[in-house]
């Protein structure tokens, strides 16, 4: 997925000199190809992320297409005010890349883990929020982000989990993407980012469960969510993010406003707490109960039949 991201920004910079990459002193190996291909379009803003967003806003107003890269604990969380006022208020075409979302930086503790970035941005007007699950979804997300005339945030979680799709994505932005067909009247799982592969594994234990990936959280196809909700009795939402105000909260809001065919929504994300210990990525998934085994146990606790 990271290689796909690198290829997308290099290709964009080669074809358009207005494309600029700004980094807050991160991602050097990731940007080796970019610096070789377009050295004059690379800006290291240093450990000054708030200033970096202000610089990007000024460049966008001058006609450039800035891509702002940082760890998701810093972009968007540390720079939320600047994203709100400098970029979203002005509706400027700035692309924000938040790398290492969720608990990817497991050994670095709460300062570098990001479980609230979607929630923080969902309340802001005029910004798209994308959360790709694999290389195909990353290509899809970057194609949208680079041609967009409004702010876009691309959330990059665990990048080496393998593909969940087998061909390029051509769906409209905002659509949920089917990964496994389900049986009407059973359960459906909607997952985003790194949890899409987990959803496929989890669905094998739930009779008749279909699986959908949500590479776009804002916008999202409300009609499609409603249609899925009407076809099942339980809608399970998985995300490597707080269960508050993320994708699960959004799906619950949509289903809660339906006048007919309402199903149960189960939000399975991270509880409202910080990581207690440092450790490997797999350890943190278990600590927060979002690995496959723990998710299955949580569903059983909620009365869902799992084989």
Q: Over the stretch 229-288, which tens digit does the pLDDT of each residue have?
A: 999 999 999 999 999 999 999 999 999 999 887 799 999 999 999 999 999 999 999 999
Q: Both 142 and 184 in a single domain?
A: no
Q: Both 86 and 196 in a single domain?
A: no
Mean pLDDT score of the chain: 97
Residue 168 lies in a domain: no
Residue 285 lies in a domain: yes
Q: Both 129 and 14 in a single domain?
A: yes
CATH of the domain at 142: 3.40.50.970
- The mean pLDDT of 147-165, rounded to a whole number, is 96
Domain encompassing residue 244: 177-301
CATH of the domain at 248: 3.40.50.920
Q: Both 203 and 81 in a single domain?
A: no
pLDDT recorded at residue 28:
80
Residue 164 lies in a domain: no
Q: Does 307 have pLDDT greater than 80?
A: no
- Residue after which a domain boundary falls, among 97, 121, 156: 156
pTM, 2 dp? 0.97
Number of structural domains the chain divides into: 2
Q: Which residues contact 259 (CB under 8 A, 6 or more apart)?
A: none
Q: How confident is the model at residue 27 (pLDDT cuts 50, 70, 90)?
A: confident
pLDDT in tens, 65-121: 999 999 999 999 999 999 999 999 999 999 999 999 999 999 999 999 999 999 999
Q: Both 181 and 152 in a single domain?
A: no
Closest to 118 measured CA to CA, from 257, 295, 243: 243
Q: How confident is the model at residue 26 (pLDDT cuts 50, 70, 90)?
A: confident
Q: How confident is the model at residue 18 (pLDDT cuts 50, 70, 90)?
A: very high
- The mean pLDDT of 157-161, rounded to a whole number, is 93
pLDDT in tens, 184-236: 999 999 999 999 999 999 999 999 999 999 999 999 999 999 999 999 999 99
- The mean pLDDT of 152-177, rounded to a whole number, is 97
Q: Both 233 and 123 in a single domain?
A: no
């Amino acid at each position: 997925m990271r290689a796909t991201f690198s290829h997308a920004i290099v290709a964009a910079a080669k074809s358009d000199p207005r494309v600029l990459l700004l980094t807050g002193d991160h991602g050097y190996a990731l940007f080796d190809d970019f610096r070789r291909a377009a050295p004059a379009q690379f800006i290291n803003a240093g450990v000054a992320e708030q200033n970096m967003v202000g610089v990007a806003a000024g460049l966008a107003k001058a006609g450039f297409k800035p891509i702002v890269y940082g760890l998701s604990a810093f972009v968007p969380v540390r720079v939320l005010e600047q994203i709100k006022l400098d970029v979203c208020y002005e509706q400027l075409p700035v692309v924000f890349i938040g790398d290492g979302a969720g608990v990817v930086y497991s050994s670095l503790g709460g300062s570098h883990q990001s479980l609230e970035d979607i929630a923080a941005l969902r309340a802001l007007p005029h910004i798209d929020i994308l959360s790709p699950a694999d290389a195909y979804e990353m290509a899809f997300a970057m194609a949208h982000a680079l041609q967009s005339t409004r702010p876009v945030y691309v959330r990059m979680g665990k990048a080496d989990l393998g593909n969940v799709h087998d061909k390029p994505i051509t769906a409209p932005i905002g659509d949920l993407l089917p990964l496994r067909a389900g049986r009407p009247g059973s359960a459906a799982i909607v997952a985003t980012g790194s949890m899409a592969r987990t959803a496929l594994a989890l669905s094998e234990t739930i009779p008749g469960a279909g699986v959908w990936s949500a590479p776009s959280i804002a916008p999202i196809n409300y009609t499609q969510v409603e249609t899925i909700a009407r076809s099942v009795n339980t809608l399970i939402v998985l995300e490597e993010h707080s269960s508050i105000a993320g994708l699960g909260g959004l799906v619950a809001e949509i289903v809660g406003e339906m006048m007919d065919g309402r199903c149960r929504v189960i939000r399975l994300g991270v509880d409202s707490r910080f990581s207690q210990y440092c450790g490997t990525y797999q350890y943190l998934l278990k600590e927060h109960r979002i690995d496959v085994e723990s998710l299955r146990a949580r569903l059983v606790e909620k009365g869902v039949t799992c084989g």
